[in-house]
Structure 1
């Protein structure tokens, strides 16, 4: 029995990370257009998100997925699956670990943007390691490959606002996988569900 999890913002809500729906117009500001026209404001927003993320701890849903070593495709950029010590995690929207200068091919710890958002060598605008609205998803086909081979897809904390989540669920169903959706109270329901499957 091969399980794969597809996780969205709802899995991290009990860890204190608000969903996009709770953060007003944030969704519009996480776009390629907004980043290029308002880079200072954009990085202010990401720094505020990072403060919340750095304080957040994995909740029982993250921990259960790590405990049973379930491969994960996540739409979250909060890194909580890795904090929970999950080994196989595809972060299709990236993370807030670093920024890079595409011209110099240099990477910097994300916190450099507190001081400067331009490369100290060539003055190019530093790029976040985050997939923005309007971008291609570089790891999309890695996610498709993983999901297409599973017997059961656990969809956890996903609003289906983005077409990406709907597409991945469609791919799983098309490949004959069972799709189990646990969207509310995942921190209680997911550990229980997995315990019933694995028996411990």
Structure 2
């Protein structure tokens, strides 16, 4: 099926769905210059073993090495700007077609683009906390020193590391998925559990990812085109119509 036919099919699916949610992964942020994890040639996990560099055990074993490596790409995340895919999702929410975004990303770009309902199931880069006394700080504290200024305990970022328990946002996302009629999976390889199990909670699924996923064969429509192209075209094809969650306000998509 050609692109225009698939786009029309997606448009009809979202018009008929009473509850549409987006699930985003690292692939939506690659157009903002942030590398993803599992692409064949550029994925971070092709260069590093995540258990060796991005786990709670790695942090405790060698904090200096852990932070020296991870700050390289965290700084890229913190300096990045939203791309048109992020802006398009924010507009779909304002137009009332999208309830909100469940994201595996820690870059905060959905909020920067204007999305209001975002569940960050892998945490974010806003802050850090002490493993010993549990005091919380903004992320700038980690740039100053790796240990708590109050008790000397090791500081950790507010992101989900390998070996961590899932945060409250994940369990909220599971509840939000109840009754989901259409899930837009955008830029996720759906290889990391338990987040990869969320599509099972939706009646219908659309995949928008540059590379094939294990869910392609189970999905109603599949796009391997860039997320910004598909989502901007979707906004245009809805022609400023109001969706079931529309509450008023500007519906124009801003291009960058």
Range moving further from structure 2, 17-26 or 80-89: 17-26
**Matching of residue 43 in structure 1 with residue 67 in structure 2:** yes
Secondary structure at the counterpart of residue 188 of structure 2: coil
Partner of 1:168: 198
Q: Is the 8 A contact 1:20 1:26 kept in 2?
A: no
Q: Which runs of 5+ in 1 are unaligned?
A: none
Q: Distance in 2 between matches of 1:26 and 1:117?
A: 23
Q: Distance in 1 between matches of 2:70 and 2:178?
A: 33
- Residues 134, 169 of structure 1: alpha-carbon distance in 2 compared, 3 angstrom cutoff: same
Alpha-carbon distance, 1:167 to partner: 0.5
Partner of 1:87: 116
* 4+ long deviations beyond 4 Å: none
* Aligned with residue 25 of structure 1, among 30, 33, 48: 48
Q: Distance in 2 between matches of 1:189 and 1:15?
A: 16
Please provide the CA RMSD for this pair: 1.6
**Matching of residue 15 in structure 1 with residue 13 in structure 2:** no
TM-score, scaled relative to structure 1: 0.91
Q: 1:35-91, CA deviations, whole angstroms, 9 ceiling, x for partnerless residues?
A: 111111212223212221122111111001111213010001111101101100000
**Matching of residue 101 in structure 1 with residue 127 in structure 2:** no
* Aligned with residue 187 of structure 1, among 228, 246, 255: 228
* Paired positions, count: 195
* Aligned with residue 146 of structure 2, among 92, 105, 117: 117
Q: Is the 8 A contact 2:22 2:185 kept in 1?
A: yes
Alpha-carbon distance, 1:133 to partner: 1.1
Range moving further from structure 2, 106-115 or 59-68: 106-115
TM-score, scaled relative to structure 2: 0.72
Q: Is the 8 A contact 1:58 1:81 kept in 2?
A: yes
Q: Distance in 2 between matches of 1:4 and 1:93?
A: 17
Higher Rg of the two aligned structures: 2
Q: Is the 8 A contact 2:180 2:201 kept in 1?
A: no
Q: Which runs of 5+ in 2 are unaligned?
A: 1-17, 211-225, 241-256
Alpha-carbon distance, 1:26 to partner: 5.5
Alpha-carbon distance, 1:158 to partner: 0.5
Secondary structure at the counterpart of residue 68 of structure 1: helix
Q: Distance in 1 between matches of 2:74 and 2:162?
A: 19
